[in-house]
Amino acid sequence: MFFGLDHSQLQVYWWVIESLLGGLLVFLFFVQGGQGLIDRLSANEEEKTLLVSTLGRKWELGFTTLVLFGGAAFAAFPLFYSTSFGGAYWVWLAILFCFIIQAVSYEYRKKEGNLLGSKTYEVFLKINGILGVFLIGVAVSTFFSGAEFHLGGTPVEIESSGALPSFSSSNPYFVSWDSPLRGLEALANPLNYLLGFALVFLSRIVAESYFINALASEAITKRARKDILLNTALFLPFFLGFLAWICLKDGFGVSENGEVQMVANLYLLTFLRYPVILALLVLGVLGVLFGIYKSWRGEKGIFALGFGVVLAVMAVFLNVGLGGAFYPSITDLQSSLTIQNASSSYYTLSVMGYVSLAVPFVLGYIVYVWRAMDRKKLSAQDFKEHSY
């Protein structure tokens, strides 16, 4: 089948795909970051419309990548998909709501006769740009802090949940969520906030770098160059705090016989065990810092910054996926999900492997469209006929 890879190799291959999509998604959060800055970087309505319209040309890319990330998880790791998206549904519904109001806002903000007025839709954009990104960061943090679920279920639990009789306690694929908050309980752990806030400020940094590269407005560029230093100063403590937390905490390791157990400094040991992952993280961080420096100087730093973001996020995902249980349960360690027990069958991963060969073409198309849209710097005159 897929180039002679066995099942375990296909599982790793698909986790690499998921990690890449996660990195691309975080980079494309620059749209959300820009939405949170529309008042800060604009001095009048014309400049605000220029910022929103510039982002409006790109917002579908991030939404599509989010859907693609979820679709790949459904195909390659269905037990994770059903456990997280089906079990922690309140947090995912909150995230989905944030993205729905984003789509509505770009459609109706400047439409004549809209009932809510443009200011309301601008608030919606800010909610998506801040709360939506923060909640995704908190959700991803549970890869390291753990979630409250267990596989299987007792007859009493099944009866009280109203599940169909065909589900039994012997079925390991029946997931019971152990908190009535359904994912929102992750907000009770302040350490989960580290990645949430880090993503919020990183998305703003990338947005300001994008504005510097894409806009022909000297006033906006000047404000963005100044503000990028502030957001960098806010981003670094949260990001470094997140790295320190995962490297110093006990991790959810998996023994040779498949038993999940707590291992001291697991994620630090994983970086050391896999030098390639550590190299990706280091290159990613250096790329981010270099991109910030170039953007602060008013130069084209978005590409170095974007490259660094993708590599750094990939390193974090690869660490948790290859180091142990990538979706651990804190109420029942043996219910924790790994890329081995949560993956699809060998046949499914093989067939989908051929489908994944289309990913480079999709990325190539995105690059082509991006270059076509940004072949010249944008000004308010470019949105006279149509603005968001």
Q: What is the pLDDT along the chain (388 residues), one digit of tens a residue?
A: 677 889 999 999 999 999 999 999 999 999 999 999 999 999 999 999 999 999 988 888 888 888 889 989 999 999 999 999 888 999 999 999 999 999 999 988 888 777 788 899 999 999 999 999 999 999 999 999 999 999 875 433 434 444 433 333 345 557 889 999 999 999 999 999 999 999 999 999 999 999 999 998 999 999 999 999 999 999 999 999 999 999 999 999 999 888 999 999 999 999 999 999 999 999 999 999 999 999 999 999 999 999 999 999 999 999 999 999 999 999 999 999 999 999 999 999 999 888 888 878 877 877 787 777 777 887 877 777 677 7
Give residues with Cβ within 8 angstroms of 378, minimum separation 6: 50, 54, 214, 215, 216
Write the single-letter amino acid at 99: F
Write the single-letter amino acid at 2: F
- CA–CA distance, 109 with 23 (Å, rounded to integer): 30
pLDDT of residue 385: 66
With the C-alpha atoms ordered 341, 317, 61, 191, is the resulting torsion angle positive or negative?
A: positive
In contact, 233 and 204? CB cutoff 8 Å: no
For the entire predicted model, the pTM comes to 0.92
pLDDT of residue 172: 56
3-state secondary structure of 163: coil
What domains can be seen in the chain, in order of their start residue? 16-153+180-354 (1.20.1630)
**First-residue to last-residue Cα distance in the chain:** 47
- CA–CA distance, 65 with 60 (Å, rounded to integer): 8
- CA–CA distance, 155 with 176 (Å, rounded to integer): 12
- Beta partners for 175? 151
CA-nearest of 74, 40, 36, 69 to 55 is 36
